Copies of this chain bind each other. A is one copy, B any other.
Amino acid sequence: MVGLGRLTFIGLGLRGLGGIPLEGLEKAREADKVYIELYTSPLADFSLEQLASLLGKQPIQLSREDLEERSGEMVLRDAKEGWAVLMVPGDPMVATTHVDLRLRALKAGIRVEIVHAASIYSAAASISGLQAYKFGRTVTIPFPSPGFMPQTPYDVVKENLSRGLHTLLLLDYDAKTGRWMTVREGLQYLLTIEESRGEKVASKDRLALGLAGVGGADVEVKGGLIGRLIKEDFKLKPQTIIIPGSLHFMEAEALKVLAGVKPEELP
């Protein structure tokens, strides 16, 4: 079943070039051909030129069309006869596109391997001071448009809160315009739904955390009641929101020390 071909997915982690795992760096240097896609999730402070000099070869950047409409056929072609690498933001396979390409490769008899890297899923949880095993389902808040404002994010927070679980809310990124949703826009999205439904899931007196620049040494973590947090400024990108569920003593302590949550703001 497995032929000569080889395809290695390599995660780039969360920011710049620092998140590349040692194994990924070595394999990208050895491989015959290196592709990269930067649209499935935002990667801040990243320079393709710096990566090229680090690898000693020029990675070929793929567009959404290359991977989704043309099904990554050039990657598969190279992976059939030699060793092709696809570098992706965060941890591979979080995007459906990667899973699709992985399945196509396996069906073509290509040997596939995955080099894992830091993912926003675990990094946001761990930087917040909250315990990873107490997070429920994660959800993304999309950019709303006239007639388009799904209530899923609100429902997921509600569902997790009912079980005392924390919710990680990823904020949309528009690869075309390069625009990133901010904590303020995300909180406003939730408040707007709260106004119409009034179930006290995301009212102004609900504790929330805003994170910016997760993955960088200068990461911003601020917490407080939504009514106060929505006024806070976050400089870095990408930005993320966490709505905490029930808190252990150490989690409450962490929110005070790490995120500036006031004692009277704790549930």
B22 touching A107, Cβ below 8 Å? no
Complex Cα gap A54–B71 (Å): 39
Minimum Cβ distance to chain B for residue A184 (Å): 23
Contact residues, A123-139 vs B (CB, 8 A)? 123, 125-127, 129, 131-139
Give this chain's copy count.
2
Minimum Cβ distance to chain B for residue A140 (Å): 7
A93 touching B127, Cβ below 8 Å? yes
Residues of chain B with a CB closer than 8 A to A174's CB = none
Q: Does A253 touch B at the CB level, under 8 Å?
A: yes
Minimum Cβ distance to chain B for residue A168 (Å): 9
Residues of chain B with a CB closer than 8 A to A132's CB = 93-94, 119, 121, 138
Q: Does A198 touch B at the CB level, under 8 Å?
A: no
Q: Does A142 touch B at the CB level, under 8 Å?
A: no
- Minimal Cβ-Cβ distance residue in B for A129: B99
Q: Does A77 touch B at the CB level, under 8 Å?
A: no
In the complex with contacts A21-B20, A103-B253, A106-B258, A116-B121 CB distance below 8 A: no
B22 touching A126, Cβ below 8 Å? no
Interface centre among A92, A119, A140, A159 (most CB of B within 10 A): A119
Interface size on A, residues (CB 8 A): 61
Minimum Cβ distance to chain B for residue A64 (Å): 17
Residues of chain B with a CB closer than 8 A to A125's CB = 93-94, 121
Interface centre among A91, A102, A115, A126 (most CB of B within 10 A): A126
B137 touching A106, Cβ below 8 Å? no
Q: Does A11 touch B at the CB level, under 8 Å?
A: yes
Contact of A126 among B92, B219, B254 (CB under 8 A): B92
Kindly list the 4 A-B residue pairs having the minimum CB-CB distance in the complex, ordered from nearest.
A18-B23, A93-B126, A116-B118, A119-B122
**Interface positions of A (Cβ within 8 A of B):** 11, 13-14, 16-26, 91-94, 96, 99-100, 102-103, 106-107, 113-119, 121-123, 125-127, 129, 131-140, 159, 163, 165, 214-215, 217, 219, 250, 253-254, 257-258
